[in-house]
Amino acid sequence: MLNAFFEKSKIDWAAIEWVGFDIDGTVYDEFEFIVQVYQEICSQLVPRNSVAYDFMLNRWLEKGSSYNKIFDEAYDQFIGGNDKAEFIQSALQIFRQFSPNLELNSRAQALLKFIGANYRTFIVTDGNAVLQRKKVKSLDVEGLLLPEVVIYTGLYKFSKPDRRVLPLLPKFVNSQNVVFLGDRDKDDRFAAEIGCQFIKVYNMIENG
């Protein structure tokens, strides 16, 4: 079944015991979260300014989730003045405390359910731990995968692909029996640190 989902991966699934996962951009479309949280930020901090909302979304699409100047640019473009630091702090607080309402698409739900029933699983997700827990709960990823461990790197002073993540993994994970699924280069580098195979996926659709 998994070869049908991941036609280009050429993984020998008979030899696989563990499947590891990233969350954002891998099991769901992260843009869904960004739409919701930017709506909330603009409604609280930039009321009556839908242009600012569109601006922020477009900058995220242009620059990606690792770009950290969107709030700075939105302030300069639509507010101005001497309170930028306060605005950014408020925006970050809303972002980190936001409770999203996320859903898996039907393909992702079926795939995760199958993997959870046939393989041992673990999750490694970067970002603010409180927010990431809310995303995992909203998506019901734990209910589908029954992971052995969920590692929220935001609890530590490191993130993927830092080797300090490795001792947090289940102790029986090794390079011969693991596949890690992620959407970014750092996920690929993290898989290389484990010494395991890697499949680059976006929203549970294999990338070319």
pLDDT, mean of each 10-residue run, the chain (208 residues): 79 93 96 96 88 96 94 93 94 97 94 95 96 97 95 95 91 84 96 93 86
Q: What is the pLDDT of residue 109?
A: 94
Residue 146: left (phi > 0), alpha (psi -120 to 50), or beta? left
Report whether 160 contacts 185 (CB < 8 A).
no
C-alpha dist (Å) from residue 19 to 25, 109, 149: 17, 15, 12
Angle (deg, nearest 10), helices 70-78 and 84-97: 130
Compute the distance between CA of residue 122 and CA of residue 179 in angstroms, rounded to an integer: 10
Measured between alpha carbons, how far apart are the two ends of the chain, in Å? 19
Q: Where are the domains of the chain?
A: 2-28+104-206, 31-97
Q: What is the pLDDT of residue 63?
A: 95
Q: What is the pTM of this model?
A: 0.92
Can you name the CATH fold of 2-28+104-206?
Rossmann fold (3.40.50)
User: Among the residues of 127-184, which ranges form H helices?
Assistant: 129-139, 141-145
- Sign of the C-alpha dihedral, residues 160, 166, 171, 177? positive
Q: What is the pLDDT of residue 170?
A: 82
Neighbours of 28 (CB within 10 A): 24
Q: What is the pLDDT of residue 185?
A: 95
